[in-house]
Structure 1
Amino acid sequence: MQRTNFAEMACSIARTLDVIGEPWSPLILRDVWAELNRFDQLQADLGISRKVLTERLNHLVGQGVLERHPYDNRPRYEYRLTVKGAELVDLLMVMAGWGDRWLAGEAGPPVLYRHHACGEISHVELRCAGCGEPMRAGDVELLPGPGAAA
């Protein structure tokens, strides 16, 4: 089945979805961030087929989100986040916060986040880069940017 290409759309959300818009890619990035770096580790944790995992890893490497690093004499690799990939994990942390709030149920969040700088268990919160105030969808106005479609 042919996948829709969102890369050429004049929309940063669509372009991001072109990189991670199918369900396995964010989960692979989550696992690599959690230091499950080898193919067999990823496959075991996710229960994903070898074929699909290979396709997703190749896509993420091709998009510059992951890098392959050989770890033995056979052609075996571990995967590491690039700077671009680490910034995508920031997006995943925001998604996790939404899931913790709306989907965790009475058991509570499945993962807690300890902030290295202060040692506190905390959560991600979106803030304006200009003034530092919280920034939610209702707090912004959408304006055409320099890359907007004509």
Structure 2
Amino acid sequence: MVTRTRFDADPCPVARSIDAIGDWWSLLIVRDAFDGSRRFGEFQRSLGIAKNILTSRLRTLEEAGVMRTAPASDGGRHQEYVLTEKGRALFPVIVALRQWGEAHCFDPGQPHSRLLDRRSGRPLSPLEIRSSDGRLVGPDETVVEKLSATDGAG
């Protein structure tokens, strides 16, 4: 069995985020949770994922604090999976992936699902990255400040 590489101590926020979220199944589970899925069977039907893989991914998301179990909202004896505040904070990530996919993974005119503003019924505006002074910022206008091991020890 291949040992999973861990990034939970990496100084890079992207690496730590990937460590917490895991893989594509985990992001699709989070997507489905935003779409209203709460029960194991709902996730399984939507994703077509094997039970053992779904169980593992849900456990990983719980351990990372992205999801938690709660008593069934209908009073039944089942448990439901709900996003925590940490999980709900992934909404911009899911929207960014969706918008990137809409722009780059479909041929012109090819049908796909759309994310709509519940109030207006219209698609969301594209996400934008802005500087602290409000300027629109692209990748060429940013730099990653790498810290040495002693920078955070003070």
Range into which the TM-score falls when normalised by the shorter chain: 0.7 to 0.9
- State the identity %: 29
> Secondary structure at 1:69's aligned position in 2?
strand
> Secondary structure at 1:128's aligned position in 2?
coil
Partner of 1:69: 70
Q: State the AA in 1 paired with 2:59.
A: N
Deviation at 1:30, TM superposition (A): 0.3
**Structure 2 unmatched runs, 5+:** 150-154
Partner of 2:152: none
Partner of 1:98: 100
TM-score (norm 2): 0.84
Counterpart mapping for 1:1-150 below 5 A: 1-71=2-72, 72=75, 74=77, 76-108=78-110, 110-115=112-117, 120-128=122-130, 130-144=132-146, 148-150=147-149
Report the count of equivalent residues: 146
User: Are 1:113 and 1:122, in contact at CA under 8 Å, matched by a contact in 2?
Assistant: yes
Q: Which moved more, 1:122-131 or 1:64-73?
A: 122-131
Question: Structure 1 segments of 4 or more deviating over 6 A?
Answer: none
Deviation at 1:118, TM superposition (A): 6.2
Q: State the AA in 1 paired with 2:115.
A: Y
Distance (whole Å) between structure 2 residues aligned to residue 117 and residue 34 of structure 1 = 16
> Secondary structure at 2:90's aligned position in 1?
helix
TM-score (norm 1): 0.86
Q: Which has the larger radius of gyration?
A: 2
Deviation at 1:60, TM superposition (A): 0.3
Structure scoring higher RCO (CA < 8 A, sep ≥ 6) equals: 1
Distance (whole Å) between structure 1 residues aligned to residue 125 and residue 68 of structure 2 = 28
> Secondary structure at 2:91's aligned position in 1?
helix
Q: State the AA in 2 paired with 1:101.
A: A
CA RMSD of aligned residues (A): 2.0
